Each structure stands twice: as structure tokens, then as C-alpha cells.
Structure 1
Amino acid sequence: MYHTYMSSEEHLDDLDQALVRLRRLWSAPRSSIKDGGMPVDMSSILVIEACARGEEAGEDTTIRDIAAFTDTEHSTASRLVDRAAKAGLVRREPSPADARRTRVVLTDGGRRTREHATGFRLAWLTEVLRQWPEGDVGHLAALLTRFADEVDRHGPPGRPADTS
């Protein structure tokens, strides 16, 4: 069971500074993640990830789902899907559940790119955390998962919290 407590301003400032420094994880040079020798945009990786998670949950992935996952407007998510589709990573098709809806589906190329991107991230994490005790890595994973769950529940800064 977790204990409720108020963090001191110093701890919150330290956390804020660390999160600002970590934002570079998502702004890695485009050449960092390649598939078949071609650089893959981070936005396409996010579209692939949204589709893969929907697929794993047995659900259709829509533009609305991708907009929520990427924290973008519907029109921006639609452009991100267009870019990923042009790269052969996803395709749009009618939803079998509702012909009025369109679902976004991973292609085999999208699945391979996801595997490659995941492998790239895991290799990088292995290197970064090489000197850490296994228990510390587990503790970090648990705390970050808990933090991510709370961020999902509260939403990004400036948005109303989910009260459900």
C-alpha cells in the first residue's frame, strides 16, 4: 500500500528539473531509429505504438485513439497517420464493426519497425542502467509506471483532471 504525503518544494523542483532533462528521450535525432536503413520519424513510432496497443487489446484503433495517445488534435493525428501510411507502416481500412468508422491497422512493415524500435530502446536502457542493481531498476520501473498512471488519470498540465 502506498502512503499519501506531500512532497517538499525541493523534491518537486528536483523532479521537475529531471523531467525537463528527460524530454530529450523523445527528441532523439531522427537518424537514431532506422528501419531498413531509413530513418523513422518519432511521430510514426508513436502511431505504430498506438496501433499495436489497440491490436494487443483486441480493439480497433481509430484516429481518435491515436490523437489521445499522441496528445494531439484529431487533424494532427490524421496527418501523422498519413505520414506513417506513406511510409508503409500502417493502413486505413473500414471498421468491420461499424462501416462509418475507419480503423488504422499495422502493416507487417509497421510490426517490424515496432520490434526494431523496441529493441533499440531496450538496448539503450540496458547500457544506461548497466551499473544499477537489479532491485533499483525494478523500483524505478514500478515508480515510473505509477507516475505514468497518475499522469494518465490527471492529464497533462493545463487540462482538467479525469474524475472517474
Structure 2
Amino acid sequence: MNAGHGSPLGEDDDVLAVMPRIAQLGNAISRGRLTEHAMKAAGVEVDRPAFSVLVSVHMAGRPLRISEIAEQMQLVQPHVTRQVQTLERHGLVRRTGDPNDRRVSIIEPTDAGRTAADRYARTLISWFTGAIAHWSEPDRAALGRLLARFADDVTTHLATLEDS
């Protein structure tokens, strides 16, 4: 491309330039040692998929149907059901009848499940806080604000794919 001429993508270049960084961060979190470290700190001996279900249920702050967990995590219901069964065997979640529909179960963390999910979250927060400890307060605040905005906007925009 000649100097002085804009890219054929124009404003999309800014987004395109950050995409490898988003992938890098996603890989570091989901496949890296950080998740393993946080799970170890949680003190729970379940596999990563089951632990992800536990964290999702805990972060929801309310009991969830399996269909809600599956939708939230973008998984199929049979997969979530298997993970919930594993978590039940380990005493990390409990299944109770939905008072509005007795054919449906709702899932909520037990005290042990909440404690494990909290330890996991505190470990991650501590690690991320340490990673950006050298940043200025305005930079840390901007990251939090922009990341929250980005997550909300991406989630909202993803809903348009479901509508089409």
C-alpha cells in the first residue's frame, strides 16, 4: 500500500491489530498454567470443565437450571449435566427441585463449592493485580472501564447472531 493511502479496512485496522492480543490473552488464561495454579489453590480435585461449571454457577449469584448454565457457557446440555454430576459427587453443588416447575432441577453451589470458587477467583485476581501492579492508577482504571465496556458490547453484539 502506498504511503498516504488508507488501509482498505480503514477503521477496522484498529480492531484487527488487537485480535492477536485477545487470542494471546485467551490462550494464556484458558490453556496456561494460570488456570491450573488457581484450581490447585482452590483445593478441588475435579477436571477443568467441571470446575468451569462450578465457577459459572457461583458467579451467577443464584441457582441456575442446567439449560441456563449451558446457555451461559455456550455448551450443550448433556455436557453440563455430566459436569454437574461430577460436582455433585464431590459435594461442590447440590441439585434441588425448581419450585416453579417440579420437572426441572436447579443447581447451586454448596458451602464447599462456594469456598473453592472464591479461592479460585481470589487467586486469579491476585495474579492479575500483580501483573499490572506497575501500571499507573489511571491506566488500571481505564483498563477496568474499557474491558467491562468491551465485554458488554461484545455480548450484546453476539446476541444479534442468534437473532439472524
TM-score by length of 2: 0.80
Q: Retained in 1: the 8 A contact 2:87–2:93?
A: yes
Q: Retained in 2: the 8 A contact 1:90–1:106?
A: yes
Change (3 A) 1:38 1:68: same
> Could you tell me which residue of structure 2 aligns to residue 46 of structure 1?
52
> Residue by residue, what CA displacement relative to the aligned partner does 1:15-64 show, whole Å, maximum 9, x if unpaired?
2111110112122346412256445533233322332244x3xx430101
Larger Rg belongs to: 2
> Residue by residue, what CA displacement relative to the aligned partner does 1:92-143 show, whole Å, maximum 9, x if unpaired?
2211232111001111110111110111011101110111011111111111
Change (3 A) 1:162 1:94: same
Q: CA RMSD in A?
A: 2.5
Structure 2: gaps (5+ residues): 1-8
Q: Within 2, Cα distance between the matches of 1:14 and 1:28?
A: 23
3-state DSSP class of the match of 2:63?
coil
Q: Within 1, Cα distance between the matches of 2:66 and 2:156?
A: 21
Q: Percent identity?
A: 25
Change (3 A) 1:78 1:95: same
> Could you tell me which residue of structure 2 aligns to residue 21 of structure 1?
24
Relative to its length, the structure with more helix (as a share) is: 2
Q: Retained in 1: the 8 A contact 2:42–2:120?
A: no
**Structure possessing the higher relative contact order (Cα contacts under 8 Å, 6 or more residues apart):** 2
- Displacement of 1:11: 1.2
Q: Within 1, Cα distance between the matches of 2:52 and 2:127?
A: 18
Aligned AA for 2:96? E
TM-score by length of 1: 0.80
> Could you tell me which residue of structure 1 aligns to residue 80 of structure 2?
77
> Could you tell me which residue of structure 2 aligns to residue 136 of structure 1?
139
Aligned AA for 1:83? T
Structure 1: gaps (5+ residues): 1-5
Spell out the pairing of 1:119-134 with structure 2 (5 A cutoff): 119-134=122-137
Q: Retained in 1: the 8 A contact 2:44–2:116?
A: no
Counterpart of 1:146 (choices 125, 145, 149) is: 149
> Could you tell me which residue of structure 2 aligns to residue 3 of structure 1?
none
> What count of residue pairs does the alignment treat as equivalent?
153
Q: Within 2, Cα distance between the matches of 1:40 and 1:7?
A: 47
Q: Within 2, Cα distance between the matches of 1:31 and 1:161?
A: 33
